[in-house]
Amino acid sequence: MQVQWSESYCVGDDQIDAQHAYLFSLANEVFAADSQADLRICFMKLYKYVREHFADEEALMVEVAFPGFRFHADLHDALLARLNALSVKIGKRQWDKRDVHAFMSEWLLQHIRQEDAQLVEHVLRARGSDGSVSIS
């Protein structure tokens, strides 16, 4: 089982798109883990990077005064709570790869394609032609 990155998941911001693509790579490392020790290491890499990615997105939201910041940050918190629950399952050896696949699929269908796309639309409107932020 793997998740496949596709250009159709791009939201139009190079940094965010690159981070999303890397998250797919990390999720596939989780799927490929062949021991409990490898699984834990790969999952922790995924979890750590998800947190970094969310922090980057939230910093961007603050920079451009994104009006949906609180709602979007709450979605991030909910996604992290799901990852925490998966981490507990891994620790108890009660994990099923379908759990991460379901998480990634939901994230793609709902969060990246809808919420992140709205953020990027706002960022593009807020940035001037020189890339600087213009909040109006």
Domain edges within the chain: 36-126
pLDDT at 132: 47
Mean pLDDT of the 24-46 span: 88
Distance CA 10, CA 125 (A): 17
Angle, CA 49 vertex, CA 133 and CA 15 arms, to 5°: 30
- For 98-135, the pLDDT digits (tens) are 777 777 777 766 787 788 888 888 888 887 654 544 34
- For 51-103, the pLDDT digits (tens) are 999 999 899 899 889 999 999 999 999 989 988 998 898 888 887 777 777 77
pLDDT at 121: 85
Secondary structure string (H, E, C) spanning 104-126:
HHHHHHHHHHHHHHHHHHHHHHH
Mean pLDDT of the 3-13 span: 80
Q: What is the DSSP string of 19-54?
A: HHHHHHHHHHHHHH--SHHHHHHHHHHHHHHHHHHH
Of 8 and 80, which is predicted with more confidence?
80
> Which pairs from 119-125 meet CB under 8 Å and 24+ separation?
119/11, 119/16, 119/57, 119/60, 119/61, 119/66, 119/68, 119/72, 120/11, 120/12, 120/13, 120/16, 121/12, 122/64, 122/66, 122/67, 122/68, 123/13, 123/60, 123/64, 123/66, 124/12, 124/13
Say yes or no to pLDDT of 17 above 50: yes
pLDDT at 109: 64
pLDDT at 131: 53
Distance CA 134, CA 36 (A): 49
